[in-house]
Structure 1
Amino acid sequence: MKTRKGMKPKASEATGPGSPPEEGPARGIRPMPDPDKTLDSIQLDALEQSFRKWITATPRRDVHRSRRRIFLIFLIIRYSGGKLSEVLGLDPTRDIDFEDRFVRLGRPPRQVQLSETLLAEIRGLIAESAAEDGPRQLLDVDPGFVRRKFYERAEACGIPKQLGAPEILRKSRAVEWMQNHMPLPVVQRLLGHSTPNLTSAYVAFSEAEIQQATRHFMEKESARSTSARNAFFGKIQMIQQGDIQSRVEILTLGGHRITTVITNDSLKRLELGPGRLITAEIKAPWVMLHQGDDPRGWSADNRIEGRVERITTGEINTECIVRISDGTAVCAVVTTESARRLALAKGDAVWVVFNSHSVVLLSD
């Protein structure tokens, strides 16, 4: 990636090739973002819509073009979790791969998968602007100017301007990935964090398999067609075939082992075999909760330890959200009477337990 030096724009207009023409005075020293605050998905969507309206709200062609450049930077940061400096250092002709659907960020470079829908929009924005700005210089924008526009768009949709900072968008994306049940080690890798504590199970996945898993999460998020709750994405480790049914063991990206039993007909229809990547889902009513030591005496095959994150009590049933070690959220629905007997509270250590017959395999 190319390196660059930031330039300071004038108060009333941008100067030099790295600063798009824009109206409005400079706002002085940028506010420091609060590292403990993030934007939720609704706020992120509101911010994105604010940018979209802003692009079209000018009759000036040069301003319209410069706003598209700022919006392009926003989209890449918002969906890749990249740092502002990384995104401004991109060469779109080299660092965005539209065929394999990823953007290459940082040093050493890491590949962050993006959805097909998003990349189609990015391609369009680049095509619209590249004819006049040149594709290689398209993202060569002064970082202070970018920050100011991000703050303005945040304020325009009722969000404190500090929360429009690129660092907040990056952190918010990480939280969003976690809430969409992407394992913590994958999130760390996407953000470019060093992860010396990776489990040996996670290391067993190849880079290509990690990219395939990440693409799965991105496309699923983009489609928004189904809930990813209680979903584990992993690799088939072993298949023990019987006369009628087969036992399948899956190693998840977070290092957990999930066991399921399916019919031999399903095994053949899904074309399953060792090394195949697959999604395992468990419906919330099939998840049991257990307090105390590892429940090895239980007949259930699957036992994962976590901590209670949220409890929603209803008249008949109670929903418990348990966060396990890799960051995945597991939902259990129990009767309210059972919940009272368990006397669970937020932060309590608990085991989520489910039978192998409760696991459904989904092949993409």
Structure 2
Amino acid sequence: MPADTHHARITPTGNDGRCLDTAQMEKLEQSFLSWADAPLRSDTRRSRERILAIFLLIRNTGARLNEVLSLKPSDIDFKNHMVQLCKGGAKRSGPCREVEISEALSSELDKILNGPEKKSAPRGIFQVDPGHVRRKFYERAEAVGIPRELGTPDAIRRSRAVELLQNNMPIPVVQKILGHGTPNLVASYVEFSNDEMKQVARYFVDKETSRKTSARNAFFGKISRIRKGDIQSVIEILSVAGHTVVAVITNDSLSRLGLRPGAMIIAEVKAPWVTVYKSDKEPNSTAQNSFRGIVQRITRGKVASEVVVRVADGLELCSIITEESRQRIDIRENDEVWVGFNAFSVVLHVD
């Protein structure tokens, strides 16, 4: 797939000065948490906790301010860790969507909204003056040295979008979470149901919470075809972002995993198995999986170097090659390259 073929972009994935990076977002979150926990009077604490809840929802879901202010307590599913967001403000004249949240955030919101006694939160708990909310956002940003224009609800929403993209979440899933219209997505996107998109989003939310795994070199999609042989089977996967990935597994694994066409699956490949080719044309190789992209960054070492390539739709593939090979091929940042890997090196995971 050519490097210049991609879906409609939401926002640049780099920090262009209009967004907060993850460290700044976490710093701002700590500012809100400390501020909400400081007052001794219960009514003051309750008022601040409402602002904290609004911030946490925007920071973690990328919701619009008017979507959060129109929320009812029943829109938050604390058991299944979901929030229903609707466009159109209090009138809810626009479409609604369900957004995955982490178990930790669900628990925090439950504590804020329902209190230790677990009494039902009042229906209009989020009905706060938007101007008041913005002023408090400005104050919390400036308190930790962040320019007020980067502490607005819109800036935090943009920052969340960038954060998700930098975490390698497929663009169609980010668009779904943020409630963006997607009239020009490739046909592969419409083949994925809302439940399947939620499944991908849930993986990222859980990964982000644990911070123990990386989503690089991971393709999220559904099985489009299975070709079964005597000993091994060829699995073809259509990813959410429109990529086709080929994997070869044993028939025993096929049976054990219960794989079938249409099933959702995660395909991963380890960085040492990803090869980088510097070529204008797709290279002649035994790799069944080849993608064209742009070198985003290179981490150089004395023996080995890490090369991160962004292919179409923002997906990042990481390759680890010897530094000697990198110098010999003359791979540099912003180079157009091909990355490839063998079908036998793909590891499949079912949720």
TM-score, normalising length: structure 2: 0.88
CA–CA distance in 2 between the matches of 1:176 and 1:269? 36
> What SS does structure 2 have at the residue aligned with 1:194?
coil
> What SS does structure 1 have at the residue aligned with 2:177?
helix
Q: Provide the residue aligned with 1:349 in structure 2.
A: 336
- Farther off after superposition, 210-219 or 127-136: 127-136
CA contact (8 A) 2:113 2:121 kept: no
Find runs of 4+ consecutive structure 1 residues off by over 6 angstroms.
Answer: 129-133
Shift of 1:348: 2.1
> What SS does structure 2 have at the residue aligned with 1:326?
helix
Mapped pair 1:51 → 2:32: yes
Mapped pair 1:238 → 2:225: yes
1:98 maps to a residue whose letter is: F
Shift of 1:132: 9.2
CA contact (8 A) 1:81 1:171 kept: yes
Match of 1:82 among 38, 57, 63: 63
Q: Provide the residue aligned with 1:104 in structure 2.
A: 84
Shift of 1:298: 1.6
Q: Provide the residue aligned with 1:65 in structure 2.
A: 46
Classify 1:113/1:126 alpha carbon distance in 2 versus 1 (closer, same or farther; 3 Å): same
Classify 1:41/1:188 alpha carbon distance in 2 versus 1 (closer, same or farther; 3 Å): same
Match of 1:215 among 158, 180, 202: 202
Classify 1:35/1:301 alpha carbon distance in 2 versus 1 (closer, same or farther; 3 Å): closer
> What SS does structure 1 have at the residue aligned with 2:326?
helix
1:194-252 deviation per Cα after TM superposition (whole angstroms, max 9, x unaligned): 22221111211112211222122212222223222211111111111222221111111
1:266-288 deviation per Cα after TM superposition (whole angstroms, max 9, x unaligned): 22222211111111111111111
> What SS does structure 1 have at the residue aligned with 2:123?
helix
CA contact (8 A) 2:114 2:120 kept: no
Q: Provide the residue aligned with 1:333 in structure 2.
A: 320
1:294-350 deviation per Cα after TM superposition (whole angstroms, max 9, x unaligned): 426321000112111111222111211111112111111111121122223322222
1:120-179 deviation per Cα after TM superposition (whole angstroms, max 9, x unaligned): 221221102999995221111111111111122122223223221111111111111112
CA–CA distance in 2 between the matches of 1:130 and 1:302? 55
> What SS does structure 2 have at the residue aligned with 1:162?
helix
1:53 maps to a residue whose letter is: S
Shift of 1:185: 1.5
CA–CA distance in 2 between the matches of 1:210 and 1:261? 25
CA–CA distance in 2 between the matches of 1:316 and 1:296? 25
Mapped pair 1:196 → 2:183: yes
Q: Give the number of aligned pairs.
A: 330
CA–CA distance in 2 between the matches of 1:256 and 1:294? 18
> What SS does structure 2 have at the residue aligned with 1:137?
coil
CA contact (8 A) 1:319 1:334 kept: yes
CA–CA distance in 1 between the matches of 2:327 and 2:144? 42
CA–CA distance in 1 between the matches of 2:326 and 2:122? 58
TM-score, normalising length: structure 1: 0.85
> What SS does structure 2 have at the residue aligned with 1:159?
coil
Q: Provide the residue aligned with 2:168 in structure 1.
A: 181
CA contact (8 A) 2:309 2:316 kept: yes
Q: Provide the residue aligned with 2:115 in structure 1.
A: 128
Shift of 1:182: 0.7
> What SS does structure 1 have at the residue aligned with 2:135?
helix
1:160 maps to a residue whose letter is: P
Q: Provide the residue aligned with 1:298 in structure 2.
A: 285
CA contact (8 A) 1:308 1:349 kept: yes
> What SS does structure 1 have at the residue aligned with 2:28?
helix
CA–CA distance in 1 between the matches of 2:285 and 2:189? 27
CA–CA distance in 1 between the matches of 2:236 and 2:103? 31
CA contact (8 A) 1:38 1:168 kept: yes
Q: Provide the residue aligned with 2:345 in structure 1.
A: 358
> What SS does structure 1 have at the residue aligned with 2:261?
coil
> What SS does structure 2 have at the residue aligned with 1:334?
strand
2:64 maps to a residue whose letter is: K
CA–CA distance in 2 between the matches of 1:44 and 1:70? 16
Q: Provide the residue aligned with 2:261 in structure 1.
A: 274
* Aligned alpha-carbon RMSD (Å): 2.1
CA contact (8 A) 1:246 1:267 kept: yes
Q: Provide the residue aligned with 1:6 in structure 2.
A: none
CA–CA distance in 2 between the matches of 1:279 and 1:60? 50
Q: Provide the residue aligned with 2:21 in structure 1.
A: 40
Classify 1:264/1:134 alpha carbon distance in 2 versus 1 (closer, same or farther; 3 Å): closer
CA contact (8 A) 1:65 1:129 kept: no
> What SS does structure 2 have at the residue aligned with 1:217?
helix
CA contact (8 A) 1:35 1:168 kept: no
CA–CA distance in 2 between the matches of 1:193 and 1:96? 21
Q: Provide the residue aligned with 2:244 in structure 1.
A: 257
